[in-house]
Amino acid sequence: MSIKLICLFFYVEYVYICPFRKLIYLMKFETKVIHAGIESDPSTGAVMTPIYQTSTYEQKSPGNHKGFEYARTHNPTRSALEKNLASLENGKFGVTFSSGMAAMDAIVKLLKSGDEVISINDLYGGSYRLLTKVYAQFGIQSKFVPMDNAKFVSEQISKKTKLVWIETPTNPMLSIVDIKQIVKKVKEVKRNVIICVDNTFASPYLQNPLDLGADLVIHSATKYINGHSDVVLGAVITKKPKLAEKLYFIQNASGAVPGPQDCFLTLRGIKTLHLRVDRACKNAKKIARFLTLHPKVNNVYYPGFKAHPGHKIAKAQMRDFGGMVSFDLTGDSYGDAKKVLSNTKLFTLAESLGGVESLIGHPASMTHASIPIEERHKVGLTDSLIRLSIGIENVDDLIADLENAMTKL
Ligand SMILES: *Cc1c(COP(=O)(O)O)cnc(C)c1O
């Protein structure tokens, strides 16, 4: 190569490409999903991040390597995903795990025996189980409280409180928590409490808790982020170097890391996150309206309705109202719900959410079966409550499918 060419190469790299890489972090969401953290492969120029299916890396002499030693600690496919996720949540550090629950497990490991967690009472069943069945036995106690009143939450803070766990919108009642208010009130009482938001239901496209003052945001990337129902993966994102350092330490020390193939699939799914979530939101709006007009439907839970108690907060802290809708039936019979659940042809009866395909579920017998009936009824989780995860199919086909399933009641 001539010296002129070499000079040109460095000129282009430093004048155009380097600033471009930095600019990525100032770009809009739709650009970041495609470009943040992604660089063509240095060895081949491959445009898509390769799947680095390797457990170890060559060292030229002991300790002399290219930044990669062993794949539990570092993997280039995983690093690209972590950088991308950090950027989508307007954070600085992304830490990925083999599942959403492994991500939560790493966060709770920031605590020690004698510390206390204050969690929302209406939370993902697996999160409740991890706190009560795993961590309680190690001396980490959890209090479960409603979070519709920020002052009430801050009054629960004690000397032992180390972590506040928020989920919004909640599952399956789709209640909304005012993240900014909770952060404000909690930090007024105690500055060093870690506030974490489970942002799985909203996705980073609709809501960015770090911008609202949260310290950590967690995702089950299994849901909207990957979006194709073919991966289980979790992530934690933060702006804070000290928390990030501890989480990377736990990631490597405990070892619940995602494999390179799953990181690749998640990166691939992310590229259409905004398109998928936009369509799911649009479809959900129409389906929620259809349900309110249906004679067999009693309540419809959807934060996009003006009458929803969290509507104003949702409007302020979310870009749109999400793709989840819950409803129950007049007469509240489990038998009727069962008929609807078995008669849909497009809505698949299955756990999970956030995929391109629409799913239908029955919280009372599936995700929330372990919660006592009186507790369930208190929050409005009736026997006929049905939860929909709206996909990106044609909305008229989805409505026809529900209509048809309900004519048999
Ligand atoms: C699914 C889910 C989790 C758990 O994630 P996994 O990837 O299944 O381990 C946590 N929180 C919420 C809100 C979820 O929906």
Top mutation candidate among 123, 203, 222 for ligand 1, by most atoms within 8 Å of CB: 222
Calpha distance 206→129 (Å, rounded): 27
CA 93 centroid distance within chain: 16
**Cα–Cα distance measured from residue 195 to residue 206, given in angstroms and rounded to the nearest whole number:** 19
**Quick one: which of 50, 79, 49 has its CA closest to 67?**
79
Q: Which of 320, 314, 324, 338 shows the shortest CA–CA distance to 291? A: 324
Dist. CA 396–CA 349, nearest whole Å: 19
Q: Which residues pair with 96 in a beta bridge?
A: 235
Residue 198 a catalytic site member:
yes
Q: What is the pLDDT along the chain (409 residues), one digit of tens a residue?
A: 466 655 555 555 554 555 555 565 579 999 999 999 999 999 999 999 999 999 999 999 999 999 999 999 999 999 999 999 999 999 999 999 999 999 999 999 999 999 999 999 988 989 999 999 999 999 999 999 999 999 999 999 999 999 999 999 999 999 999 999 999 999 999 999 999 999 999 999 999 999 999 999 999 999 999 999 999 999 999 999 999 999 999 999 999 999 999 999 999 999 999 999 999 999 999 999 999 999 999 999 999 999 999 999 999 999 999 999 999 999 999 999 999 999 999 999 999 999 999 999 999 998 888 777 887 888 889 999 999 999 999 999 999 999 999 997 8
Q: Which of 122, 178, 198, 262 is catalytic?
A: 198
Q: Give the DSSP H or E segment for 107.
A: helix 100-108
The one-letter amino acid at 5: L
Contact 195, 216 (CB under 8 A): yes
Active-site position among 124, 135, 205, 302: 124
The full DSSP string for 268-335 is HHHTTHHHHHHHHHHHHHHHHHHHHH-TTEEEEE-TTSTTSTTHHHHHHH-SS--SEEEEEETT--HH
Torsion angle, alpha carbons of 78, 126, 341, 173, to 10? -100
Q: Is 124 a catalytic residue?
A: yes
Cβ–ligand 1 contact at 130 (below 6 Å): no
Ligand 1 mean position, distance from CA 101 (Å): 6
CA angle 278, 20, 204 (to 5 degrees): 25
Instruction: Please tell me if the CB atom of residue 387 comes closer than 6 angstroms to any atom of ligand 1.
Output: no
Beta strand pairing call for 324-329 and 297-301:
antiparallel
d(CA 146, CA 360): 26
Q: Are 301 and 326 in contact (CB under 8 A)?
A: yes
- 227: alpha, beta or left? (left if phi > 0; alpha if psi -120 to 50): left
Could you tell me if the CB of 119 is within 6 A of ligand 1?
no
Please tell me the distance between residue 103's alpha carbon and the centre of ligand 1 in angstroms.
Answer: 10
Tell me what pLDDT residue 201 has: 98
Distance CA 322, CA 88 (A): 17
Q: Which ligand 1 atom is the nearest neighbour of the CA of 221?
A: 7
Longest dimension (CA), the chain: 82
Instruction: Single out the catalytic residue among 57, 72, 115, 240.
Output: 72
Q: Is 127 in the pocket of ligand 1 (CB under 6 A)?
A: yes
| Count of Cβ atoms closer than 10 Å to residue 373 Cβ | 11
Q: What is the pLDDT of residue 367?
A: 83
pLDDT of residue 23: 60
128 lines ligand 1 (CB under 6 A): no
End-to-end, the C-alpha distance of the chain in Å comes to: 77
Tell me, what's the pLDDT at 378? 81
**How many other C-beta atoms are found inside a 10 Å radius of the C-beta of residue 16?**
9
Establish whether residue 76 lines the binding site of ligand 1, counting it when its CB lies within 6 angstroms of any ligand atom: no
Ligand 1 centre to CA of 131 (Å) is: 14
In the three-class reduction of DSSP (H, G, I as helix; E, B as strand; rest coil), residue 72 is classed as coil
Cα 63 to middle of ligand 1, angstroms = 38
- Put the strands of the sheet holding 234-238 in their side by side order: 93-97, 234-238, 216-220, 194-198, 161-167, 116-120, 141-145
Assess contact for 307 and 288: CB atoms under 8 A: no
Pick the catalytic residue: 223, 276, 285, 387? 223
Residue with tokens 């905004």: 274
Beta strands in 29-111 (DSSP E): 93-97
Here the tokens at position 141 are 């106690």
Contact (Cβ atoms closer than 8 angstroms) between residue 215 and residue 162: no
